[in-house]
Chain A
Amino acid sequence: DQQVKQNSPSLSVQEGRISILNCDYTNSMFDYFLWYKKYPAEGPTFLISISSIKDKNEDGRFTVFLNKSAKHLSLHIVPSQPGDSAVYFCAASATNTGANSKLTFGKGITLSVRP
């Protein structure tokens, strides 16, 4: 049973526009969420995180929104740049169970930003 779902396998956007990457989760114990960016043959690079006590966190061009009632989060990238083209993973953990480093990942979404 997939507890973290990224239902769209790919997304293509024009340079300068907004990229919206979605993620849904089913485990109500998850209280900490992270987004990672990954290039082939490299490890995931941390982008941004959000705790369940917040509904928004912003860092430069990246903003993550959390809707706990819908068990949904999204990553907004504004403006999108060609260098943002990569695979983006949504991950979640249940820190209240002591499993801080036990991340459950979605399958990833491939973002392509067209010049």
Chain B
Amino acid sequence: GAVVSQHPSRVICKSGTSVKIECRSLDFQATTMFWYRQFPKKSLMLMATSNEGSKATYEQGVEKDKFLINHASLTLSTLTVTSAHPEDSSFYICSARPHRQSWSTEAFFGQGTRLTVV
């Protein structure tokens, strides 16, 4: 159990276009999902916390108009990179915290999406 699926796993897009990344919890409901970004050979930095049915909470320095997050259901959150530029190229990873385990601090990670903007 507790499987999180991200799609696509890899995407190449042209500069100026928008790209949508999906994060799905396959066998549990998640009121909260998290989006991280990982630069090459670096650690994971939290971008935003996605809350089902409400606006996402962005970390300091993350452009909310650039990285649009939607959490329309208990099993799906999406991250849209708008007007992508080469500097947005990165590895994006989501995680989801099971709704039923309100006492738990563990979240489950997707396999990540490698975005390359050319």
Tell me whether A and B are bound partners: no
Interfacial residues, chain B to chain A (CB-CB below 8 A): none
Interfacial residues, chain A to chain B (CB-CB below 8 A): none
